[in-house]
Amino acid sequence: MAICTPVSATTTAPISPQYHDGKYRNPVAMHKLGAGGIAKLWWAFLFDKRAGTTPQQAVPVQPLTRAALLAAPDNTLYRLGHSTMLIKLAGEFYLTDPVFSQRASPVQWFGPARFHAPPISIDELPPIKAIILSHDHYDHLDYAAIMALAPKTSVFLTPLGVGDRLVDWGIDRAKVRQFDWWQDAEIDGVHFVATPAQHFSGRGPLDGNSTLWASWVIRHDDLRLFFSGDTGYFKGFKEIGARYGPFDMALIETGAYDKLWPDIHMQPEETLQAFVDLNAAWLLPMHNGTFDLALHRWQEPLDRIETLADDRGIKLATPEMGEALSLTQPHAGGRWWHGLK
């Protein structure tokens, strides 16, 4: 088992197979928009966005309290919004890509705003054993949330370079562990593996792909979970499934896709194929229902994946934000977006 220790991107990047010519790279070449494509994209976002990309009615949220979380059984998951999952394992709490700010943006006066409040505040959360980060985009790495969570968090697990951002922000280096793909660690009996993803990184115009991106495998006793982070469809899902499957549940991005960026986010049909490749029992579609990050209707990812799953007989879990979901005895949950405008 390779247990990753706190390192800096400058010392680890040259020995990472993902690092070439000063940047992290995907194994295959990515589709490039070009100047015309970029202009078309900005025009679509600013002037030609279709109706229905944000809800006109309240997204249902089940409020959570610290007392309820502490009393909950082990192997329980709560979707807090977007790709933020709170998972209780062996009496401890683990949090993926925590975003609690009102906007997924470098500033809070402009940018994609939340459709709903988080089911619980950071102050109300119990101590967090580990935060698991997939990459450094604003809808996954929230500076304000990280700084507020730091005093109650024991460990931050990040892809290479992302941990250096945390240290630069003032997070204690001793709390930060950085991983290349296929590196792993164990924390209090819970096993984490940073696995490949097909995406990109950056928080500004000059730092593109200066940090790595990853998906994650989480295992405890007989329970096996997969967390995709952000990714396009790629053959790596089959390898992850072969190495670490079968999975009890796969938390896979289903949203913010478009034909203009086909390599970095998955269409629902690709999400379903990734699920099949991973050899999972249940699919929980995430990366939807919280922020307007694309050009499709806000309900479209959920509508499409529901239809596809029904047609294939795949078990689909769609809990409301804040709803408890047992990972050992999952339930489908209500199709909470039905009927909402």
**pLDDT tens figures, 8-29:** 333 344 479 999 999 999 999 8
64-326 is classed CATH 3.60.15.10: yes
CA 202, CA 210: separation in Å to the nearest integer? 7
| pLDDT confidence band for 38 (50 / 70 / 90) | confident
Cα 250 to the chain's mean position, in Å?
12
Are 112 and 291 in contact by the 8 Å Cβ rule? The answer is: yes
Who's near 67: CB < 8 A, 6+ residues apart?
none
**Cα(254)–Cα(230) distance, rounded to whole angstroms?**
9
pLDDT above 90 coverage of the chain, percent: 88
Q: Is the pTM of this model over 0.85?
A: yes
Average of pLDDT values for 305-312? 98
CA 112, 283, 325, 125 dihedral sign is: negative
Q: What is the mean pLDDT of the chain?
A: 94
pLDDT tens-digit profile of 269-304? 999 999 999 999 999 999 999 999 999 999 999 999
Query: pLDDT tens digit string along 157-214?
Result: 999 999 999 999 999 999 999 999 999 999 999 999 999 999 999 999 999 999 999 9
Domain borders along the chain are: 64-326
Whether residue 230 is predicted with pLDDT greater than 80 in this model: the reply is yes
pLDDT in tens, 235-275: 999 999 999 999 999 999 999 999 989 999 999 999 999 99
Q: Return the pLDDT at 4.
A: 40
Residues 6+ apart with CB under 8 A from 168: none
